[in-house]
Amino acid sequence: MPELQYMIFTVIGLALIFDFINGFHDTANAIATSVSTRAISPRNAIMMAAVLNFLGAMYSTGVAKTIGSDIVSSAIHVDEHVLIAALVSAVFWNLFTWKLALPSSSSHAMVGGIIGAVLVSAGAIGLNLVGIGKIILSLVLSPLIAIITGYLVMHLLYFLFGQCTPYIVNGRFKKMQLVSAAMMAFSHGSNDAQKSMGIITLALLSGGYIDVFEVPTIVKILAATAMAFGTAMGGWSIIKTIGGKIFKLEPISGFAADLNSSLVIFSATVLHLPVSTTHVVSGSIMGVGTAKRIRAVRWGVAQQMLVAWVLTIPCTALIGSLVYQITLWIF
């Protein structure tokens, strides 16, 4: 029993570390556009994002339930070794891509880590293939939807404000960007923090500390706090990639990208679907840039991000499977 308690606390600690890293790794999603257009100072943007990430994380637990119950076929196929392996894999991948200043998906990393660890521990029977299919479909389709809707939103704004002078448009939308950035930060917290909540709750369920998969309030507070602190640390290298290397943003295009991203992500949260905020924001920026002209988007950077998008799940699955074997040896 003491060994079980130790391992469950290890899972909780790693989940909170993952949330913390997710916070500074994905801070760019919420504030890169408003910082790059100088609508708000970097310091104030990060503080605003930290607060709204916390509030968003407290919003619901639907995504947490999806992560905790739709990847594995049953809680009996999950133990602390599996969860530790999945979390170590996801944390490693986030730090690796952060070091390369390459935006990648914390959601993909988490899902891949769980799949790899469960495959080694229980085999394919331990996986809920229907649930995994639903999750991967939402992860794949959401950035594509963001590209299309970002293109449409930008065209609508061009139609409504195309007759105004650039000076008037930029002045108005610099102020509006504060609203869209706040919406983006809240939606990011509402979706991303729940992934750690789902892992912690699954650990408590498999350890017999709770009888049904319901996220305890203390777990919500801990996950929300960890993400808020991580957000407050910032992720400057990725902010530069998101904010300027994909497409040169202006206040009106920054507003369109944030508004579109927040609506796509929050819609997924309401539907209890995990999505990659990194890829949704990147997709929105590509769509907004394409509305101006196709060559305005730096497709070379987009190609690098696509490579990371494709590689994340198989790479983290492989890492998760290896770490699972190591945890069996250590514990």
Please state the three-class secondary structure of 114-133 as a single string.
HHHHHHHHCCHHHECHHHHH
The pLDDT of residue 108: 85
% of the chain at pLDDT higher than 90: 25
The pLDDT of residue 235: 57
The pLDDT of residue 212: 82
Q: How far apart are CA 164 and CA 144, in angstroms?
A: 30
Query: Quick one: pLDDT band at residue 104, thresholds 50, 70, 90?
Result: confident
- The pTM of the full predicted model, rounded to 2 decimals, is 0.85
Please write the tens of the pLDDT for every residue from 127-149.
999 989 998 889 889 989 999 99
Most confident listed range (67-81, 178-192, 286-300, 315-329): 315-329
What average pLDDT does the structure give for the chain?
A: 84
- Return the DSSP state at 40: S
Q: How far apart are CA 39 and CA 299, in angstroms?
A: 25
The pLDDT of residue 241: 57
Residue 227: pLDDT above 80?
yes
The pLDDT of residue 146: 94
Query: Quick one: pLDDT band at residue 267, thresholds 50, 70, 90?
Result: very high
Contact present, 280 and 78 (Cβ < 8 Å) = no
Higher pLDDT, 3 or 114: 114
The pLDDT of residue 152: 96
Query: Quick one: pLDDT band at residue 328, thresholds 50, 70, 90?
Result: confident
Buried b (16+ CB within 10 A) or exposed e, 283-294: bbbbbbbbbbee
Please write the tens of the pLDDT for every residue from 12-58.
999 999 988 887 776 666 677 777 777 878 778 778 888 888 898 88
Query: Quick one: pLDDT band at residue 321, thresholds 50, 70, 90?
Result: very high
The pLDDT of residue 106: 80
User: CA quadruple 229, 91, 4, 193: dihedral positive or negative?
Assistant: positive
Query: Quick one: pLDDT band at residue 237, thresholds 50, 70, 90?
Result: low
The pLDDT of residue 35: 75
The pLDDT of residue 256: 92
- The runs of H, that is alpha helices, within the chain are 2-25, 27-36, 42-57, 62-69, 80-99, 106-121, 129-161, 166-206, 217-233, 236-240, 251-270, 277-292, 299-330
DSSP assignments along 73-118, one per residue = S-GGG--HHHHHHHHHHHHHHHHHHHHTT----HHHHHHHHHHHHH
Q: Which amino acid is at 167?
A: Y
Q: Which amino acid is at 120?
A: V
Residue 4: pLDDT above 80?
no
Q: How far apart are CA 100 and CA 142, in angstroms?
A: 24
φ and ψ at residue 274, rounded to 5 degrees: -75, 135
The pLDDT of residue 234: 61
Q: How far apart are CA 200 and CA 87, in angstroms?
A: 11
